[in-house]
């Protein structure tokens, strides 16, 4: 049934965006985390990549999380010679997490999740009306 397919596609999209939201939350929670020792690398921003997966049972493609990786790039440094993670020159490496980028990613994931939820709710309502019409 086509409505069943719509439900599964929306559910897959919601699951993928849910993972993305969790990763964004982790990035924001660790944006001030530094290394454990002098000169040690701090938290590295995590990213989510998606892929289309063929669901052979339904004969359609759904989205899924391909992998959760780390973002390349240099760490910023700040001068704080009293910090336990400061190197010999007094500089502390800080994570490559940009709060503005994370908030934009979060907003996009929220909107995608909401759009999939709306499709799911509409499809469910259509199924309910179809069942009621058959009674």
The domain ranges of the chain are 2-134
- pLDDT level of residue 39 (50, 70, 90 thresholds): confident
Q: Given a cut of 60, is residue 53 above it in pLDDT? A: yes
Q: Given a cut of 60, is residue 57 above it in pLDDT? A: yes
Which tokens belong to 126? 């259509």
* Overall average pLDDT of the 6-11 stretch: 89
pLDDT at residue 58, as a whole number: 75
Q: Given a cut of 70, is residue 1 above it in pLDDT? A: no
pLDDT at residue 73, as a whole number: 87
Q: Given a cut of 80, is residue 109 above it in pLDDT? A: yes
The residues, ordered by sequence, that sit 6+ positions from 78 with a Cβ below 8 Å of its Cβ are 91, 92, 94
Q: Given a cut of 90, is residue 30 above it in pLDDT? A: yes
Provide the whole-model pTM.
0.86
Q: Given a cut of 80, is residue 102 above it in pLDDT? A: yes
């Amino acid at each position: 049934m086509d409505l069943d397919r719509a439900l599964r596609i929306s559910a897959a999209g919601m699951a993928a965006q849910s993972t993305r939201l969790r990763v964004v939350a982790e990035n924001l929670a660790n944006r001030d985390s530094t290394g454990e020792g002098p000169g040690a690398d701090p938290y590295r921003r995590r990213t989510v990549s998606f892929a289309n997966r063929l669901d052979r049972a339904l004969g359609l493609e759904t989205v899924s999380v391909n992998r959760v990786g780390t973002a390349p790039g240099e760490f910023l440094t700040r001068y704080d010679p009293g910090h336990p993670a400061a190197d010999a020159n007094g500089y502390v490496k800080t994570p490559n997490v940009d709060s503005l980028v994370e908030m934009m990613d979060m907003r996009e994931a929220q909107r995608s999740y909401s759009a999939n939820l709306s499709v799911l709710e509409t499809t469910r309502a259509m199924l309910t009306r179809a069942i009621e019409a058959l009674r």
